Amino acid sequence: MKNRKTSAIDPLAAEVSSLSRRFAERSLDSSYMDRTESREAYGVYYGEVSHSKGVALGEEILRRGDSSLFRKDHLRILDLGAGTGDFGLGVAESLLAAHPFSLSLHFVDRSKEALEAAVSGRGHSRLSLTVSQATLPKDRSYLSDGYDIVTMANCLAENESQLDGFADLLGEMARSILPGGLLLLVEPADRRSSRALLTLGDDLISRHLPLHLLAPCPGGRTLPCPALRRSEDWCHEDRPAVFSEGLLKTAKLVGHVKDSLKMTYLLFGRGGAPPPPSLRLVSPLHREKGLFFGDFCDGNLWWRIRLLTRNRGDLTRAFTRLHRGESVAEGEPSSLASSPPLEGRGSIDWPRERPVIRLSHPDGRPFDPMDES
């Protein structure tokens, strides 16, 4: 039942509130994009967020992808479960802004109406848009060899019972991605959606496909995800973002806080270099009396790392400035462990004499040494 107060104030906010509740409850029927009011509310509200995620991850693709990919004259992108197309268009926007090549972007979705909205009035002189109506993951009529980038956003959250089917689909798709190409998978940041994507990632890794993990996991992880070892854990991004006044107004009416991009993502590549070994902060950095602490991942284990106030000095001060998703030099965490790892988790008290070296921002941008001055 829609909130009467919200409905009386703003029909858009009322529809967004209804969509949000049904997303959270996993009670949304598969035909919601066919209905005008749901589709338009989704496009205006969730579409803006999806577009922002696409832009941000498109910029990250430019940093992490194989340079040979961006020397081509033309790229082909396949966007699975495209909905109203906002995520794929955001990725394309970043790529087109950085390079003079042309792009063809092919949307796949079960909703004819959503696909029509995706291509309506969204042309670009170097971008061509095409569509296929198909129900994922079963239908595969759109598959062909020769895609440079394959993206899939928010499909698992709406299809939890079909995880194996999506693994089979992406396993088949991965073998047709061109050398230097990329596979980008994105889900919401809630525990269920995040763990579904991390489980899917482990499945793809176990299939020994011609892909390796570029981000966000340190060192090009090849082992099961440490976040899946305990049922209460998951791993997600929380990156600063700026949204339109209209979206912020709707968010306030609905009771949402929209000040960042929250998502879980995996970026695989046929080429490109995985990130170097490091410790990546996968929680907020907490401060309590006498210490700072956070959870870090090295790709194999999670580490609870503490910096005691008495160990704060010129070499370790950078620890206190860390944000979720940032990486620091690894320093062989097992050699610093205060106790043997238990159930995939270890604990470390960072020593005063060991420098904390910030390596990269959450999106892979290296830290400028001047930032530490």
Higher pLDDT, 18 or 333: 18
**Cα 129 to Cα 110: distance, rounded to the nearest angstrom:** 17
Average pLDDT, the chain: 91
* Average pLDDT of the residues in 115-130: 90
Taking alpha carbons only, the member of 84, 100, 114, 95 closest to residue 55 is 95
**How far is C-alpha 361 from the geometric centre of its chain's CA atoms?**
15
Taking alpha carbons only, the member of 114, 112, 92, 110 closest to residue 101 is 92
The per-residue pLDDT for range 74-96, each reduced to its tens digit, is 999 999 999 999 999 999 999 99
Distant-in-sequence, close-in-space partners of 275: CB < 8 Å, separation ≥ 6: 64, 214, 215, 216, 217, 218, 219, 220, 327, 360, 364
Catalogue all structural domains in the chain, each as residue range(s) with its CATH number: 7-269 (3.40.50.150), 278-372 (2.40.50)
Residues above pLDDT 70, as percent of the chain = 93
Distant-in-sequence, close-in-space partners of 300: CB < 8 Å, separation ≥ 6: 221, 223, 226
Q: What token pair was written down for 275?
A: 């990130």
- Answer whether residue 114 shows pLDDT above 50: yes
Can you give the chain as a three-state secondary structure string? CCCHHHHHHCHHHHHHHHHHHHHHHCCCCCCHHHCHHHHHHHHHHHHHHHHHHHHHHHHHHHHHCCHHHHHCCEEEEEEECCCCCHHHHHHHHHHHHHCCCEEEEEEEECCHHHHHHHHCCCCECCEEEEEEECCCCCCCCCCCCCEEEEEEECHHHHCHHHHHHHHHHHHHHHCCEEEEEEEEEEECCCHHHHHHHHHHHHHHHHCCCCCEEEECCCCCCCCCCHHHCCCCCCCCEEEECCCCHHHHHHHHHHCCCCCEEEEEEEEEECCCCCCCCEEEECCCCEEECCEEEEEEECCCCEEEEEEEHHHCCCCCHHHHHCCCCCEEECCCHHHHEEEEEECCEEEEECCCCCCCCEEECCCCCECCHHHHC
- Give the pLDDT confidence score for residue 6 in this predicted structure: 47
Whether cis (ω within 30° of 0) applies to the bond prior to 341 is no
- Answer whether residue 355 shows pLDDT above 80: yes
**Cα 174 to Cα 371: distance, rounded to the nearest angstrom:** 39
Overall size of the chain counted in residues: 373
Q: What token pair was written down for 259?
A: 């000040």
**pTM listed for this prediction:** 0.93
**Residue with the two structure tokens 């759109």:** 142
For residue 230, which phi and psi values (nearest 5 degrees)?
A: -125, 135
**Cα 75 to Cα 145: distance, rounded to the nearest angstrom:** 13
What's at 254, amino acid-wise? V
Taking alpha carbons only, the member of 127, 136, 117, 121 closest to residue 94 is 127
Lowest mean pLDDT among 50-64, 96-110, 160-174, 212-226: 212-226
Taking alpha carbons only, the member of 207, 119, 114, 208 closest to residue 154 is 114
**Residue with the two structure tokens 């899917």:** 200
Lowest mean pLDDT among 100-114, 185-199, 220-234, 312-326: 220-234
- Give the pLDDT confidence score for residue 4 in this predicted structure: 46
The per-residue pLDDT for range 238-294, each reduced to its tens digit, is 999 999 999 999 999 999 999 999 999 999 999 777 778 899 999 999 999 999 999
